[in-house]
Amino acid sequence: MGGIGKTALAVEAGHQARTQGWFPGGTLFVDLRGYDDNPVTADQAVLALLDALGVRGPDLPPTTARQYDSYRALLAERRDRMLLILDNASAASQFLPLLPGTDHHRVLITSRDRPYALPVRLIDLEALTPDESAALVTRALHDADERDDRPSREPAALRELTGLCGHLPLALQIAAAMLRRRRHRDIASLVSEIAETGDATTVLDNGSPGTDLYGRSLVLRPVLETSYRRLPPDQARLLRLLALAPGAETGTEAVAALSDLDERTTLSLLDGLAATHLVTPVRDGEGSGSAVRWRLHDLVRAYGAGVVAGNAGLREEGEAARERVLEHYWRWAHAADARLRWLPGMPEPAPFGDRRQALAWLDGERTGLVAAAQWAREERHTNAAVGLSTCLAEYLDWRRYFDDKITIFGIAQQAAHRAGDGLGEAMAWNNLSNALDEVGWSGKAIEALTRARDLYQAAKDHHGEANAWNNLGLALRQADRVSEAIEALTRARDLYQAAKNRHGEANAWNNLGVTLRQADRVSEAIEALTRARDLFQAVKNRHGEADAWNNLGLALRQADRVSEAIKAYDEALEAYKAFEDWYRTGQTFANLARLHEAVHHPAKARAHWHRSADAYTRADAPDEAAQARAQAEPPK
């Protein structure tokens, strides 16, 4: 893409190659200005090349055809290899006539477009890594003043600045030049300016210091504008709409929803944008069957969004596109959620054939889904965005993305409160509380659940009230308010029983059993957990049954019924593995390891700690995995 550093890399490579003796015949460089209003033609470029080769004035052939003949003849006669750099080509017609016609010399071409039809070796340049970006700015500041220690004093601000620049070399050069000019101001001040405007191109272009080493203007927006203006209208429209998509990467189906086009047409347009490096295809996973997603560079996204914001008609078109993609995400998330919550005996949800397919879709779209759910802040999108949030609750719990859950349900609660939707607000408080409890904020969770309970009671929603009491019991237990937790869970159990909700009742018995064990009422805990297990079996909820077995194992171990505890853990492991619930698999293996340590079976304990670490690794829980491996190490 424009500003990625093609020219700088080509020139530097040419210098290094000459230093190493690769091109004793020298180098030729032509800027074809392919993305300017008046690009250099091949006929114009050949005159510059002949001049560089010493052919000028009366020696210059009178016709264009003879000029090309003379150019190629001179190159063919040269025994010493030369390097020809044809910079900034926008069309093959600019450089094809300039190729030497012999493989003795070498040619390096830079372009924003991929010449797919030509048999040339392609090297795609990506944005720099965060470390490379920080090093570039640091070096630029130190080269100007070796006493400039701002990068070492402000490493966090430097990282934030490079991120706001999208790790694009042109943007980083401009930022470094601005920092050199404002030597006595800190890096954080520039970060604040960019963050306040929300558009790095505006701040950086306003503070641009002029030109680079090649005499080119150090400005971002014209680079992006020239690429945008060259697009056909249908590609330009898709780029604008894609800039409004939630998330950094977007699947083809979601892009089709944005554009209101069929997938085949959408793919064709995306391929065209990818050829100009304005969109980058990213493949999910390995193999030919993996899905392709589409990523916009942050600065391209900001530019596209700015184009939309500056035109009333484009703004309305953009809002309609956002509504379409939000509805698309809501519909598919609802289907995926139905599959995650499905139990034998219930109607089969479509289109996902099993949990794995539903989870794979949710994993792939997670960034966009969470970003779209945050559109609940906007009145126009509140209803669909809150509905989307509700469909993500089970998934975010399953994958343990509690920060995401806190974010979207905090927004959902505020949106429901503004709308005077008591039940919606109660639902949001209830979902928010689970995540707060999991991250250790039990006080905030208790406050959230108390509000949820009161709102459900006011609406006479007994099922919602039961859920709130159940979750309140969990939060109270987490806060070591065990007796209050038992009362809350007992209330939840009774409400579920009255409503003949056996699944909810099973959950309440399970949570009550864990809390009774915490209160050292072990025999009551075993009875409660046995009831939970039997109820989960009756409703064919195998995952809930696994939770009950694991908790029953803990209670049986506390009662010194070791062999029964081991059997309970084995039953839990079988189910957790079937669900590929590796986090709880890791927990259960850890419970088995502790049991074997207690009965003085160190070898078995170490083996289970290793299995626990492996499961936690598969669950992407590195801290828990490290702790398990540490436990597996024999004492020194």
Same domain, 178 and 258: no
Q: Please give the average per-residue pLDDT across 547-573, as a whole number.
A: 96
145 part of a folded domain? yes
Sign of the C-alpha dihedral, residues 610, 616, 250, 350? positive
How far, in Å, CA of 445 to CA of 552, rounded?
26
Higher pLDDT, 285 or 551: 551
Buried b vs exposed e over 392-410: b needs ≥16 C-beta within 10 Å? Answer: bbbbbbbbbbbebbbbbbb
Residue 269 predicted with pLDDT over 60: yes
pLDDT value of position 135: 97
Q: Are residues 252 and 348 in the same domain?
A: no
Last residue of a domain, one of 262, 281, 310: 310
CB 550, CB 584: distance < 8 Å: yes
- Residue 347 falls inside a structural domain: yes
| Residue 540 maps to a domain | yes
Q: Do residues 444 and 588 both lie within one domain?
A: yes
Give the model's confidence band at 286: pLDDT under 50 very low, under 70 low, under 90 confident, else very high.
low
Q: Is residue 115 part of a domain?
A: no
Same domain, 376 and 460: no
pLDDT digits (tens, 9 = 90+) for 200-239: 888 887 766 666 555 566 778 888 888 899 899 999 999 9
Closest-CA residue to 367 (of 329, 336, 338, 331): 329
SS3 84: strand
42: CATH: 3.40.50.300
SS3 353: coil
Q: Among residues 418, 449, 476, which one ends one of the domains?
A: 418
Strand partners, 27: 83
Spatial separation of the C-alpha atoms in residues 414 and 559, rounded to whole Å:
46
**Who wins on pLDDT, 81 or 284?**
81
Q: Is residue 137 part of a domain?
A: yes
Range of the domain at 304: 231-310
Same domain, yes or no, for 489 and 578?
Answer: yes
Provide the 8-state DSSP code for 125: P
Last residue of a domain, one of 418, 440, 475: 418
**Model pLDDT, residue 110:** 94
More confident residue, 58 or 553: 553
* pLDDT computed for residue 215 by the predictor: 58
Assess if residue 317 is contained within a domain: no
CA–CA separation, 391 and 362 (whole Å):
11
Judge whether 426 and 452 are in contact, CB under 8 Å.
yes
In this predicted structure, the answer to whether residue 115 has a pLDDT above a threshold of 90 is no
Whether residue 458 is found in the same domain as residue 411: no
Residue type, 559: A
Count of the separate structural domains present in the chain: 5
Nearest C-alpha neighbor of 433 from the set 410, 415, 411, 417 = 410
> What is the SS3 string spanning 175-228?
HHHHHHHCCCCCHHHHHHHHHHHCCHHHHHHHCCCCECCCCCECCCHHHHHHHH
